[in-house]
Structure 1
Amino acid sequence: MWKLLAFLITVLVGVNSKLRFDNYTLYKALPKNLDEIKKLQELYNDKRFDFWSDPAPNADYVSILSNLENKIYLEEYLSAHKINFTVTLPNIQEAIDKETVATYSRSNGRFMNWTTYYDLDSINSWIDSLVETHEEASVIYGGVSYEERQIKGIKISHGAGRKIIFIEGGIHAREWISPAVVNYITNELLTSDDEETRAAAREFDWHIFPVTNPDGYLWTHTENRLWRKNRRPVGSEFGVDLNRNWNINWLGIGASSNPAMDNYAGTGPFSEPETRSLSEYIRSIGDEIEMYLSFHSFGQLLLLPFGNTTDQLANYNDAIKIGRRAMGALSVRFNTLYNAGNVAEAIYLASGVSIDWVKESINVPLVYVYELRDRGNFGSLLPADQILPTGQETMDSILELIHQAKRLGYMSSSASTLQATIALLSSLTIVFIILSI
């Protein structure tokens, strides 16, 4: 009876029910002026197309996904309005099929391979393995998801009294490079032989969450590789954009009240358990956070608050100076070029985003978003062979962020102050002894 039922289910839905994207094409539109941007904006709300990047006034490219049925209309629309375009991925499914996803288990070693992506269970198992191996590491929980999964993270601490660097990854499910790079950073902080990296690991407490949207991330591995939101049912639709759901200018410009849209902001600020519980965790340690880093893809940008205005608010001048120096350091290793600016001026207007809430409500001194590789050729489907170089150059830039921040009077952790005091007292003691001889 049960075998027959299983057979019928297999026949009806297939052995693998994961949504396929055969004959879906990724386009890169190249607008030359504001008129062409406006024509792309008119197309933005057409649900036949999936915009992977927004047609913001300053956009030099816009990535658009189309299925076979609508690609002729899209090409004719772009041509009619004299908008240049290229095809970057002629068949999305082929790119998905080429992705490598490995399974990590503590029985097959304690190291991740930086040439492959990992699923949610593997990332969580890896965190457990690190905690078992490194006495300075401990498991932390930043909250819970709609489907009651823990938002699992790792804390790296070499003693009490240190200020915090907070890292948030994977809030948009399909951006796999985000958790991968966050994991690489974690690994470097625990295992690197580089003295500057080891010093940064010792000087601060690091609170690191590779996947802050666990339901959505799991869904991209099992059902729909291109899913972005969480998995809350909303009428006949599913999902809320967790990076439009924070209690800061909620449902303003750049967010949607339509549950069918990828930037749907939810039924209210902090309506989602992921954002609500993670914000509570952040607030509980907020007085100690010196730097907050959020990781997304794609675009090769370093973004500052705020998303709802181009006004240069708070400590914009210091933050942009620090950020630009850090992006210079990022470019050295592989000549990867990043631009820097606040969200609204560098990419698009957005509201209800995590970094704005952290800056406004928690008053963290330095808050940044990384939009990691690339610039629209692969978008959310960045090949796994780019994980390692993306991680390496990003780690270079984080160390430079810390260095430049200190030059401008930020990042003065209690631990470093204590160490400096001890060193000064030791020097004075030596001088006193010499003078006494």
Structure 2
Amino acid sequence: MLKIVLLSFVLLAPSVLAKFRFDNYTLYKILPKNGQIKLLQNLYEHDSRFDFWTNPGRADFVSVMSSPENKAHLENLLHKNNVQFEITMGNIQEAIDKEPIKRYTRGNLRSMQFDAYYTNSEINAWMDDLAREYSFVTPIIAGRSFEGRQIRGIKISHGSRRKIIFLEGGLHAREWISPATVCYITHQLLTSRDPEIMAAARDFDWYIIPVTNPDGYIWSHDEFRMWRKNRRPVGQHFGVDLNRNWNSNWLVAGSSIDPSTEIYAGPGPFSEPETRTLSAYLRTIGDRIDLYLSFHSFGQLLLVPFGNSTAPYANYHDAVNIGRRAMGALSVRFGTQYVTGNIVEAINYYGTGGTIDWIKEHLKVPLVYCYESRDRGQYGFLLPSDQILPNGQETMDSVVDMIHQARRFGYMTGN
């Protein structure tokens, strides 16, 4: 959050704003026992000095960033209450300085590497080149942002009106591994010689949106690395959490009416151009979507709807069984372990107004998942270069197996 300490700083106009630095900001991995969760929840809800990178509802760990002037208070509070913690990063800015941000050379597809991060404009240039290079790739515009930018993507199609697999990335601006993963999957669908990947690319229409929050993503690159929301001005604050703004149990749980918070749900459901226009676009193709994948970070979770209850709504049992098998395939390459479940049971936290809940409730898409990618609190949103490609590779493994498992369960057979 850092609602007062940091967010008040980024209200300044870009022309007078120096890029914010996180020198000596500290990332903590807190390991609470069940009886200590309430302490962290109270801190999360009532103390604006700390930025919770994960919600304190989860039982195994909670990641929190503190400014240097507030770290003593946080550590004293944790010591006083016998809450175990470790410092995973003592200087956030050092990790930011090491982030591998590369340049894409327009017209040179080989200059796109998958062990690095790219800006919104470079991702768009790469997609333009893909559409020029491959006759079965076409550009799509799935919506627009508050600042008037297009929400851009591509469609990969080897036939007419096939069932759709939809990939959505970059809804939360600071989760850079999300667009990187979506781009890697795209690259594999176009270039891999693996028979299973080639079959997946051929058998479905793939609609791929690497960055669904372009304003926030650009801001996270240019001005404030830890930015999460879009860039709507709300009084003295900025931004709506686009993953709390969808019209599915809006504002019921895990969101806020306080625009200074990171989970501000907006003045109403679909108040934001990003969610409103993207949902309208999805309605035009919703009857053909067989699989919807939303990519976030972090925590190594595969989530299914819904975020308002632990009840096994809709085809919960099939979705979880398919997901668990796919996460087994994900673990083979590097041993990475994911937890699969609905939002409440996997995170131990109620959260509504999100993309996957709306997709499931209103479009009735058979299989809907949200990936919370690597890691488990060591680097959080600042995943280093040596993990970017492995994260993409294991995720691709799981997507291929997910299609295989879905067919075993009687899904995704309609082409």
Q: TM-score range by the shorter chain?
A: over 0.9
Who is 1:31 aligned against? Answer: 32
Paired residue for 1:191?
Answer: 191
* Corresponding residue number in structure 1 for 2:401: 400
Q: Is the 8 A contact 1:292 1:364 kept in 2?
A: yes
Report the alpha carbon displacement of residue 385 of structure 1 after superposing the two structures with TM: 2.0
Q: Which residue of 2 aligns with 1:331?
A: 331
Q: Given that residues 110 and 129 in structure 1 are in contact (C-alpha distance below 8 angstroms), is that contact kept between their aligned partners in structure 2?
A: no
- Measured after TM superposition, the shift of residue 252 of structure 1 is 1.2
In 1, Cα distance between the equivalents of 2:122 and 2:392? 18
1:22-421 alignment to 2 at 5 Å? 22-33=23-34, 35-45=35-45, 46-56=47-57, 58-347=58-347, 348-414=349-415
The CA distance in 2 between the partners of 1:15 and 1:387, in whole Å, is 33
With the length of structure 2 as denominator, give the TM-score of the two structures: 0.95
Q: CA, structure 1 residues 265+14, in 2 after alignment: closer, same or farther (shift >3 Å)?
A: closer
**Matching residue's letter, 1:410:** Y
The AA in structure 1 aligned to 2:30 is: A
Residue 353 of structure 1 aligns with an amino acid whose one-letter code is: G
Mapped partners of 1:248, 1:107: distance in 2: 42
Instruction: Please report how far the alpha carbon of residue 227 of structure 1 lies from its aligned counterpart in structure 2 after TM superposition.
Output: 0.1
* Aligned positions, number: 401
Residues 16 and 384 of structure 1: CA distance in aligned 2, closer, same or farther (over 3 Å): farther
Matched residue type, 1:385? D
Aligned positions of 1:5-16 closer than 5 A: none
Q: Deviations over 1:350-395 (max 9, x none)?
A: 0100000000000000000000000011001111221110000000
CA distance in structure 2 between the aligned counterparts of 1:318 and 1:147, rounded to whole angstroms: 40
SS at match of 2:69: helix
- SS of aligned partner of 1:379: coil
Once residues 109 and 282 of structure 2 are traced to their aligned partners in structure 1, the CA distance between those partners, rounded to angstroms, is: 32
User: 1:14, CA displacement in angstroms?
Assistant: 10
Question: What stretches of structure 2 of length at least 5 have no aligned partner?
Answer: 1-13
Residues 412-431 of structure 1 mapped to structure 2, 5 A cutoff: 412-414=413-415
Deviation at 1:112, TM superposition (A): 1.2
Measure how far apart 1:161 and its partner are: 3.0
Q: Do the aligned partners of 1:110 and 1:126 also contact (CA within 8 Å) in 2?
A: no
Q: Is the 8 A contact 1:116 1:385 kept in 2?
A: no
Q: Which amino acid aligns with 1:262?
A: E
The answer to whether the 8 A contact 1:303-1:346 is kept is: yes
Could you tell me how far 1:108 is from its partner in structure 2? 4.3
Q: Distance in 2 between matches of 1:400 and 1:387?
A: 20
Render the CA deviation track for 1:83-124: whole Å, top value 9, x for unaligned.
100000100001101112112122444441112110000000
From the CA coordinates, give the structure whose radius of gyration is larger. 1
Amino-acid identity (%) = 63
Alpha-carbon distance in 1 for matches of 2:209, 2:387: 21
Alpha-carbon shift at residue 66 of structure 1 (Å): 0.4
- Which structure has more helix as a fraction of its residues? 1
Distance in 1, Cα, partners of 2:108 & 2:367: 39
**Distance in 2 between residues matched to 1:152 and 1:107, nearest whole Å:** 18
CA distance in 2, matches of 1:312, 1:188: 34
In structure 1, how many angstroms separate the alpha carbons of the residues matched to 2:16 and 2:227? 21
- Tell me if the contact between 2:109 and 2:129 (Cα under 8 Å) persists in the aligned partners: no
Q: Which runs of 5+ in 1 are unaligned?
A: 1-12, 415-437
Q: 1:108 to 1:410 in 2, by over 3 A?
A: closer
Amino acid at match of 1:24: Y
In 1, the alpha carbon distance for the partners of 2:257 and 2:16 equals 36
Please provide the CA RMSD for this pair: 1.4
Structure 1 counterpart of 2:300, one-letter code: Q
For 2:11, the equivalent position in structure 1 comes to none
Deviations 1:197-235 (A, max 9, x none): 000000000000000000000001100000000000000
